[in-house]
Structures are given as C-alpha cells and as structure tokens.
C-alpha cells in the first residue's frame, strides 16, 4: 500500500504558496535573481580594486540645496535629460573594469569586444588569435562598455544633441579607466601621455555643433592630471569629408576612410627630441576599427617625416566610450 499523503512536515497545507524568502549572498543581487556573468565580474573587480572614488560613477550632489535645484529643474524648468550619473544608476550600469586578468576581464584588450570568463590570454580573445596575421597597430583598447542601452543613449546625447556636460563626464570616466589600466600594466615612469582625439570633419562639426571626440579627450586629460599623470592634449589630426560610415560593411568602411586623415603641418611628431610618449587615441565608438587604423596610419606617416623609420607605429592605446558588439555580421 502507498503511504498516506498528508500535510508537509513544516505545518498545514496552504494555497496559494507563499513566496520563497529572498536569497542573499555575494553572487545574488537584492532582487533574488541570479547575477549575470558581467555583473559578477564587475563586483569581483570592484572588490579587488578596493575603494577608489576616482573609479566610481560620480554621485549627484546630496545636499539640501542640490535637492532643491533638482526639484526646480524637474517641476519648473522641465528637465531635458537626467544627469549622466543618475541615468547610469537607474539602469544599473557600471563601466567595465580595465583589467587583463582572464578571470575578471569583461572585454578583449586588443579588439575591445566583450568576452566571458577566461576569454582572453596574452594574444587577446579567440577572434584576435584567429586573425593574428592581420594585427592591429595599437597596443591596448580601453572602453566603458558595449555600444547599447544607456551608454548608447549617452553617446547620442553628446554626438547629435551637443550635450557637452555628458561628454565631459564620459571623458572623465574614460580617464579613470585609463588610469586603472596604466596602474596594472605599469608603463615606464616619467613617460609623457599625449592624448590625440580622432578628428571630425569641419563641415560635420559645424552641422552638429560639437566636436565630440575633442570633448571626450579633454575629459580624459583632466582625469589623468587629477590622478597625477602628466598628460597633454594634442589635436594634431585632420580629416577630409567622406560619406558617413553608418550601414557600411567592414570592407566598405576601410575603403571609405583610407587616406582621409593627415597631421597638421605645424605639429611636431610626439616624442621628437626625447623619449617616445604613450599616445592615446580617443573616439566615441569603435565598430570595425577602420577609423582607428587610419588615424594610426596618419601618425605613422608623421613619424616617418620626422626621420624615424617610416611605417613604424608608436606605442598607441585606443580609448573609446563604447564598442559595437560583434553580432556575427559583416558590419563588425
């Protein structure tokens, strides 16, 4: 005979069942849902780095006067857009840690694409190893995140709406992540840092009303100087007017930008007369890397004009606000 089925040992049978108590722990957020791998990597990296205010998303001012100003903005003036810090916090967004540790890396330091746990090694991610014959001319990529959701909206606010305050905050966050990457890789002490924004065509700049890479670069320089690093802004690149890169595939993007950049005649090649500096190329978004390759080619040409071996690339780091995720299509 089968045993009689009775109420559970814990008490009387009740319907509907009560919700399970929330699960707590380092790998489970307060909502009770399992944390995503990217959230876990950010939490582990934050615990490893320890408290560092320069790496945090800036908190909005919490004083009574600031709260009154925010109330006036919302109710009387009509807020056009939330401050960047509040938008990031509402979306639970935190910039990716700039670490080379395979267990904590959120993206590849060579191509900037997102990776999983232990998805990189000394030569980059699996995609970088597959195309090893076509190496990139830069040494490192530093980014804030993937080009999607709230980060995409912030880049659009800067690029198409001209919100320079958003660009300044994005640049400061980029500078903080760059400081983190430099602390980990430890470049030679005393090396100068020269920040070069990717150029914007003058006609496009007039139409949009903002040179967005220059705004980002200024924020990066301010963050580096605040961190005790000697950095200078060098807007030495120029760009011809070419069709927009949007909707072009990889091959078309490379053809579109080929030969479109050069250095200003008045500029001196960085590092001339002294030790070669670390050159930081700054842009808003990187998709195929075609624009960055062309910028590196223009800098290498200037190096050759100054008597250095022609075609030799300096030590270049690419710093971008976002990297377009590779969805397997020919666009990325």
115 CB-near residues (< 8 Å, 6+ apart): 105, 106, 107, 108, 125
Q: What is the dihedral of CA 160, 318, 182, 157, to 10 degrees?
A: 10
| pLDDT tier, 225 (very low <50, low <70, confident <90, very high otherwise) | very high
Q: Give strand ranges (E) for the chain.
A: 140-146, 193-197, 231-233, 237-239, 261-263, 278-286, 316-323
pTM reported for the whole predicted model? 0.74
| pLDDT tier, 268 (very low <50, low <70, confident <90, very high otherwise) | low
> 2-6, 124-128, 210-214, 290-294: lowest mean pLDDT where?
2-6
Average pLDDT of the segment spanning 154-177: 92
The 10s digit of each residue's pLDDT in 300-318 is 876 654 434 444 456 889 9
Report if residue 46 sits inside a domain.
Answer: no
* Domain count along the chain: 1
Omega into 16 within 30° of 0, i.e. cis?
A: yes
Average pLDDT of the segment spanning 235-254: 78
- What are the tokens at 272? 């001339």
As a whole number, the mean pLDDT across the chain is 77
Report if residue 69 sits inside a domain.
Answer: no
Report if residue 135 sits inside a domain.
Answer: yes
- What are the tokens at 179? 């400081």
Report if residue 291 sits inside a domain.
Answer: yes
The 10s digit of each residue's pLDDT in 18-40 is 554 544 444 444 444 455 555 55
Average pLDDT of the segment spanning 166-184: 93
Report the DSSP beta bridge partners of residue 317.
Answer: 140, 280
Domain of 171, in residue numbers: 87-323
Enclosing H/E stretch for 221:
helix 212-226
CA neighbor of 49 nearest in space, from 4, 101, 125, 124: 101
Report if residue 23 sits inside a domain.
Answer: no
Within 10 Å of residue 145's Cβ, how many Cβ atoms? 22
Return the higher-pLDDT residue of 250 and 235: 235
């Amino acid at each position: 005979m089968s045993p009689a089925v009775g109420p559970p040992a814990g008490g009387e049978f009740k319907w509907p069942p009560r919700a399970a108590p929330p699960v707590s722990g380092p790998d489970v957020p307060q909502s009770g849902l399992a944390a995503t791998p990217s959230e876990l990597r950010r939490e582990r990296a934050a615990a490893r780095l320890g408290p560092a205010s320069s790496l945090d998303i800036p908190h909005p001012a919490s004083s009574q006067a600031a709260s009154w100003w925010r109330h006036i903005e919302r109710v009387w003036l009509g807020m056009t857009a939330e401050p960047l810090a509040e938008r990031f916090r509402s979306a639970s967004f935190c910039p990716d840690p700039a670490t080379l540790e395979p267990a904590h890396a959120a993206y590849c330091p060579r191509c900037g694409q997102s990776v999983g746990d232990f998805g990189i090694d000394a030569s980059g991610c699996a995609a970088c190893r597959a195309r090893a014959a076509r190496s990139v001319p830069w040494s490192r990529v530093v980014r804030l995140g993937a080009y999607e959701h709230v980060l995409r909206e912030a880049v659009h606010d800067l690029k198409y709406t001209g919100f320079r305050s958003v660009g300044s905050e994005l640049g400061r966050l980029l500078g903080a992540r760059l400081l983190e990457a430099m602390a980990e890789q430890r470049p030679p002490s005393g090396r100068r840092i020269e920040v070069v924004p990717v150029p914007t065509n003058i006609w496009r700049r007039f139409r949009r009303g903002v040179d967005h890479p220059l705004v980002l670069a200024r924020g990066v320089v301010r963050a580096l100087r605040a961190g005790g690093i000697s950095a200078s802004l060098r807007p030495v690149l120029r760009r011809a007017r070419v069709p927009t890169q949007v909707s072009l595939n990889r091959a078309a993007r490379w053809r579109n930008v080929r030969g479109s950049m050069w250095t200003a005649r008045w500029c001196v090649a960085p590092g001339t007369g002294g030790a070669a500096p670390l050159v930081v190329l700054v842009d808003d978004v990187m998709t195929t890397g075609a624009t960055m390759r062309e910028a590196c080619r223009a800098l290498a040409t200037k190096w050759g004009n100054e008597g250095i071996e022609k075609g030799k690339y300096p030590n270049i780091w690419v710093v971008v606000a976002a990297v377009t995720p590779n969805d397997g299509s020919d666009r990325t």
